[in-house]
């Protein structure tokens, strides 16, 4: 590691990198292979400096003995949070056309319908669900619907709650949808999401690899778990699938990212083709 901005370099040895990645893997399910060394080292050095340490060892000893603030800071630094509004929009189509009508048909009248977006990163996905339903699902007026959004990265959850977005984040939205739900923020080039849409989503920090953490969400009818499992190894994927299965209502659905497949991870779910989309259903136990 070279010196930056005149500050002394903080070297990270191969053994230190390995020790850190094992600890980080146990905590988050995310496994950094050797090819990620440069990415991880740069962020590690920034975390060590920000926490006021001058070397890896002192920082790591505090971290591994359980220091929630240091752990939170390093998790926030290491996660990859890329997302945008109306990403993989065809799944929202499947939600309003197939999934919600089916789930509703099994629910007692008046019972709330709960949709969970995990991981939500900076909020584009759960807010997209809210906007999509406002735009495309007239039944919304008659249903008590709750959208919960979670991520392990607490800085992302704060950004999500603030509801201010870059042009890149809104690039895939139809112009009329963007105009309806966003206002330009001064001359910053940013867009501020309408308070009514922000009020549709409840954010809570949850780590999908920790069963106690996942249970805090309670039972949900639909889960969007997109573009998370790609960062996990097989063991963490299976753990996450087990935890999500547990909180999903019988007959409930889980939507994954387009490059992710539950069939390769867990036999618990039934793959269903709804129009162009493959989604995964928890058996309802009704034959």
Ligand X SMILES: C[S@@+](CC[C@H](N)C(=O)[O-])C[C@H]1O[C@@H](n2cnc3c(N)ncnc32)[C@H](O)[C@@H]1O
**Rule CB under 6 A: which of 42-71 touch ligand X?**
none
Which region, judged by CB under 6 A, interacts with ligand X, from 101-109, 149-157, 193-201, 260-268?
149-157
From CA 251, how far away is CA 241, in angstroms rounded?
Answer: 15
According to CB under 6 A, which one of 104, 140, 172, 257 is a site residue for ligand X? 257
Q: Is 226 in the site for ligand X (CB under 6 A)?
A: yes
The answer to whether 241 touches 266, Cβ cutoff 8 Å, is yes
Q: Give the nearest distance from C-beta 84 to ligand X in angstroms.
A: 7
Residue 22, φ and ψ in degrees, nearest 5: -65, -45
From CA 253, how far away is CA 95, in angstroms rounded?
Answer: 9
Looking at the Cβ atoms of 31 and 137, the one nearer to ligand X is 31
Q: Is 29 in the site for ligand X (CB under 6 A)?
A: yes
Q: Give the nearest distance from C-beta 75 to ligand X in angstroms.
A: 7
The answer to whether 226 touches 62, Cβ cutoff 8 Å, is no
Write each residue from 80 to 99 as x if it is in contact with ligand X (CB under 6 A), else as -, in one continuous string.
xxxx---x------------
Alpha carbon of 238 to those of 174, 233, 241, 264: distances in Å? 36, 9, 5, 10
Alpha carbon of 159 to those of 43, 80, 153, 283: distances in Å? 20, 14, 10, 36
Q: Is 255 in the site for ligand X (CB under 6 A)?
A: no
Looking at the Cβ atoms of 96 and 207, the one nearer to ligand X is 207
According to CB under 6 A, which one of 10, 12, 28, 123 is a site residue for ligand X? 28
Q: Which residue in the block uniquely carries the two structure tokens 């669900």?
A: 129
Write each residue from 174 to 213 as x if it is in contact with ligand X (CB under 6 A), else as -, in one continuous string.
---------------------------------xxx----
Looking at the Cβ atoms of 118 and 193, the one nearer to ligand X is 118
Q: Which residue in the block uniquely carries the two structure tokens 């359980």?
A: 66
Looking at the Cβ atoms of 152 and 279, the one nearer to ligand X is 152
From CA 71, how far away is CA 68, in angstroms rounded?
Answer: 5
CA angle at 82 for the pair 4 and 69, rounded to the nearest 5° = 60
Longest dimension (CA), the chain: 68
Q: Give the nearest distance from C-beta 196 to ligand X in angstroms.
A: 22
Q: Give the nearest distance from C-beta 107 to ligand X in angstroms.
A: 25
Chain residues in the site for ligand X (CB under 6 A): 28-30, 79-83, 87, 118-119, 121, 125, 151-153, 156, 207-209, 226-228, 231, 257
């Amino acid at each position: 590691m070279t010196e930056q901005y005149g500050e002394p370099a903080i070297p990270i040895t191969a053994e230190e990198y390995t020790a850190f990645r094992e600890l980080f893997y146990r905590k988050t399910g995310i496994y950094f292979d050797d090819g990620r060394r440069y990415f991880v080292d740069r962020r590690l050095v920034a975390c060590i400096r920000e926490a006021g340490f001058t070397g890896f060892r002192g920082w790591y000893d505090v971290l591994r003995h359980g220091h929630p603030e240091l752990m939170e800071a390093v998790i926030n630094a290491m996660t990859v949070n890329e997302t945008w509004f109306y990403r993989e929009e065809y799944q929202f189509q499947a939600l309003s056309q197939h999934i919600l009508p089916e789930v509703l048909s099994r629910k007692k009248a008046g019972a709330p319908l709960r949709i969970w977006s995990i991981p939500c990163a900076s909020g584009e996905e759960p807010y997209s669900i809210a906007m999509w339903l406002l735009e495309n699902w007239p039944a919304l007026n008659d249903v008590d619907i709750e959208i919960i959004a979670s991520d392990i990265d607490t800085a992302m959850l704060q950004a999500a709650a603030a509801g201010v977005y870059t042009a890149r984040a809104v690039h895939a939205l139809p112009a009329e949808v963007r105009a309806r739900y966003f206002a330009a923020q001064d001359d910053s080039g940013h867009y501020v999401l309408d308070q009514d849409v922000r009020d549709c989503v409840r954010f809570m920090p949850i780590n999908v690899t920790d069963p106690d953490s996942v249970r805090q969400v309670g039972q949900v009818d639909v889960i969007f778990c997109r573009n998370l499992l790609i960062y996990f190894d097989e063991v963490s994927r299976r753990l996450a699938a087990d935890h999500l299965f547990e909180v999903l209502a019988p007959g409930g659905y889980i939507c994954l990212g387009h490059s992710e497949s539950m069939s390769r991870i867990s036999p618990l779910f039934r793959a269903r083709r709804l129009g162009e989309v493959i989604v995964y259903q928890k058996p309802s136990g009704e034959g």
